[in-house]
Amino acid sequence: MYRLSARPRRGLQSVLEPVRRAQRASHRQMQWSVQRRRLARAFDAAIQDGVDNISVSLGGGAGSVDYFSDSSAIGAFHAVAKGITVACSAGNSGPFLLGVVNNAAPWVITVAAITIDRDFKQTITSTNNKQIQGRSFTLKIS
């Protein structure tokens, strides 16, 4: 298993490095409706697994609830307190609820997806000097 190094080389070029077992990400998939207990258990399990990052792609509805009731915010708070970076989607409702943001707790990184008419190309080099070409893409929905 590999991860991108935080040490940039020659502009945007990065280095792939082997990942120690404790750094491997735990994948816990939850679909559609998520019960608060299940979400809390997923955060607890990821923390116990010793992950470095948690990516949460949950959201929708009418915006964030207060932090004391939001299972995602509570779980993220406990993870961040343990030094784990937590990134959450701003929402999964599409463009239909403009101005609505979910997962906006100040201790998480909130990200949004957009479409763009540009290509971003990237070359990464592994520790054995093998080069891999990467490229972004935008799916056009008609």
Q: What is the mean pLDDT of the chain?
A: 70
Work out the pLDDT band at 96, boundaries 50, 70, 90: low
* DSSP letter (8 states) at residue 113: -
Check residues 123 and 4 and name the one with the higher pLDDT.
Answer: 123
pLDDT higher than 60, residue 19 = no
Residue type, 52: D
Q: Output the pLDDT for position 103.
A: 79
Hey, which CATH number is domain 2-26+35-135, 3.40.50, 2.60.120, 3.90.180, 2.40.50?
Answer: 3.40.50
For the record, the structure tokens of 135 come out as: 């490229």
Range of weakest confidence among 15-29, 71-85, 87-101, 124-138: 15-29
Work out the pLDDT band at 114, boundaries 50, 70, 90: low
pLDDT higher than 70, residue 124 = yes
Task: Tell me the residue length of the chain.
Answer: 142
- The percent of residues in the chain predicted with pLDDT above 90, rounded, is 8
Q: What is the mean pLDDT of residues 109-117?
A: 74
pLDDT higher than 50, residue 8 = no
- pTM (2 d.p.): 0.56
For residues 67, 70, 71, 76, the Cα torsion angle rounded to the nearest 10 degrees is -40
Give rounded-to-5 percent helix, strand, coil for the chain. Answer: 20, 20, 55
CB-CB contact of 58 with 64 (8 Å): no
Q: Output the pLDDT for position 32.
A: 45
